[in-house]
Amino acid sequence: MIRRRCLPEFLLGLCLTLSSCGGGGPSGGCSGNCQQDIPQRLEIAEVQTVIAQAVAEAQAQKVGAVIAVTDRVGNVLAVFKMSNARNSVTVDSQRDTGTGLDGLGVVPSPLAAIAKAITGAYLSSEGNAFSTRTASQIVQEHFNPGELGQPGGPLFGVQFSSLPCSDFNTRYSGGAIADIGPKRSPLGLSADPGGFPLYKNGTVVGGVGIISDGFYSLDLDITDRDRSVDELIAIAATAGFDAPADRRADRITVGGKTLRYTDVETADTLTGGRNTLSFSAAGASGALEAVGGYSAATILAGTDFGTAQSGYAAATEGAFSGLDAFRLVNADGTPRYPPRAGSDGLLSATEVTELLKDGIAVANRTRAQIRRPLGSQMRGSFVVVDTKGAILGVLRTRDAPVFGTDVALQKARTAMFLSSPGAAAALQAAGSVTYIKPQGSPGDATIQFADYSRAMTALIGVNALDGTYAYGARSIGNFERPFFPDGIDGYPNGPLSKPYAQWSPFSTGLQLDLVYERIAQHVLFGLGAGPDVGPSCAGPPGPVAGFNTTVPAALGDGLQIFAGGVPIYRGSQLIGAVGVSGDGIDQDDMVAFLGVYNAGQTLGTLGNAPIARRIDQLNIQGQKVRYVECPQAPFLDSNEQAPCDGK
């Protein structure tokens, strides 16, 4: 029996009804407001069942497939390759841009399947179930895709997080058991339909990803219903581990628009959820696959999320007691990122602790945007960095989506880097990037990073990246859109983006260009054609002929270009930044902004950027670029309407 208990009343009385804490299985489940006394994980026999169900559907569809299963923190529990499956896939935006990763045709199929499985697990929680089809809907140039004149997707750019070169996400240790996460993903997060989360008793325990059709792509038109063979096989694989119906993306709205979870259901599959194929029998059609850097040719059990084995554990003592907070830990339970002073000497450990406390306190009061049931508390991650990008502290709320920890770090580093006095010089020193292009493809083959800095200055009319102006992650995202202003079709691209003819979700501009060579090197490693990427995205070019990019030292896990990060100042001096990622981008913005503001009120030593310095004070071609965007009436315990005004 699994017992659940509501949180204490001091956590805002969030469990107001029995329905918010009850349920289990496909029709219900804990929403993140309850503590499960018995942790959940995928067992070896259950991984075998998921694989067998996928193989049975692939056989019925008369195709070969590569099947990947992960746990919630990204450990690859198994990769199964059918003997008639394709060895590689082509990255295809369906726009033939010839830039970035678009058109890359040598991506090993197991890497693509792993990325899809990790995405299903990482984007989901007890309060929301998101698939790779959901990801496709929220990363394109319009939201919804195809609706002209609409702004970019709310998670525009999230596909380039949890990167294979990340200095934050952990790597496969080669052991016989799954270990701490969150793990890296071979291609970042995926927008190619065919990746789903896996659930037990209402909580996420992992993900499954399928590649069979030869393309790593996305859905450009959500007005119709596709019959993607990848998605049919993947939905068949989830039988018995499917997401609670009332937590699926199609029960969640953003900006008045309903999200998409899947275009097919179990009833649409040829096996219809009635698979009788055993794992042993499935073995006749293929074999377990060893994937360098990710898995051996065997099956592992998953980790128990929320325990030291998973890399996430409750922070119940000291400064964080009473916050219902969680931190990242080592296998022995010691914190990976306890609060510490900045490596540049500008933030003290006491200040970092206060920033973390106040950020989580704001999150605990905040109403979630993308979580069921309605009126649930926001769940998210809060990260503090110094002016060198060093991690000074990480704290999370219960059941925050796993992807958000790396994304919060990216947002903090991005806001800090582009607000710093040395940003333009660092981009100049980054050199250039040359794409591996299909023969005859359009688009620029070589990009000079200094051109991005020059384009920013040309747009704003002054040196834009010399520390004069403070940028929030939301501001930076506006400059990284293929139309400026965002969503206005036919307008020129933002200065940090590609022109629309050369833009795609696989080629976003500065964000992708800085890490392009690292991803390409990792693909070559997957092909057995070279060494793996190093332990950080930052640094000089990799050991591959023709690679030229020196990634700025502060960007060890890459850039992020959607809302939820702000720089921290002491008077007029930049001293660090915070990043937040959780249940809604406006909520992310507010928690980051108010976390810094409240810490400043408590300490009297730091705060947000001086108002006159914020980029939203400039009129840029008749437009005001947002610094942060806070939701109206956002709190569960207050009717306050505009908590960010005047701050």
Q: Is the pLDDT of residue 22 over 90?
A: no
pLDDT of residue 21: 37
DSSP 604: S
Percentage of the residues of the chain whose pLDDT score is greater than 70: 93
Are 579 and 573 in contact, with CB atoms under 8 Å apart?
A: no
Please give the single-letter amino acid code of residue 616: D
pLDDT in tens, 167-180: 999 999 999 999 99
pLDDT of residue 621: 85
Q: Is the pLDDT of residue 263 over 50?
A: yes
Q: In whole angstroms, what is the distance from residue 236 CA to residue 58 CA? A: 9
Per the model's pLDDT, the better-predicted residue between 508 and 37 turns out to be 508
Are 556 and 413 in contact, with CB atoms under 8 Å apart?
A: yes
Give strand ranges (E) for 341-482: 381-385, 391-397, 432-434, 446-448
Question: What count of residues does the chain have?
Answer: 647
Q: In whole angstroms, what is the distance from residue 396 CA to residue 382 CA? A: 6
List, as one string, the DSSP characters of 138-168: HSSSSSSTT-TTPPPPTTTTGGG-S-TT-SS
Mean pLDDT along residues 358-372: 96
Tokens of 172: 């496969």
In the chain, what are the domains?
1-38 (no CATH), 39-288 (3.30.450.150), 311-420+563-613 (3.30.450.150)
DSSP 630: P
Are 259 and 253 in contact, with CB atoms under 8 Å apart?
A: yes
Q: In whole angstroms, what is the distance from residue 448 CA to residue 428 CA? A: 8
Are 302 and 275 in contact, with CB atoms under 8 Å apart?
A: no
List, as one string, the DSSP characters of 298-315: S------TTSGGGTEEEE
pLDDT in tens, 562-611: 999 999 999 999 999 999 999 999 999 999 999 999 999 999 999 999 99
pLDDT in tens, 275-293: 889 999 999 999 999 999 9
Task: Read off the pLDDT band of 23 (50, 70, 90).
Answer: very low
Are 590 and 597 in contact, with CB atoms under 8 Å apart?
A: no
Containing 326, the helix (H) or strand (E) segment is strand 325-328
Cα–Cα distances in angstroms (integers) from residue 388 to residues 32, 537, 617, in the given order:
34, 14, 26
Tokens of 632: 């109206």
Beta bridge partners of 108: 88
Mean pLDDT along residues 441-447: 77
pLDDT of residue 7: 32
β 432-434/446-448 pair status: antiparallel
| Strands of 76-82's sheet in order across | 195-200, 203-211, 66-71, 76-82, 286-288
Q: In whole angstroms, what is the distance from residue 252 CA to residue 154 CA? A: 13
pLDDT of residue 502: 94
Mean pLDDT along residues 25-53: 75
Q: Is the pLDDT of residue 25 over 70?
A: no
pLDDT of residue 623: 84
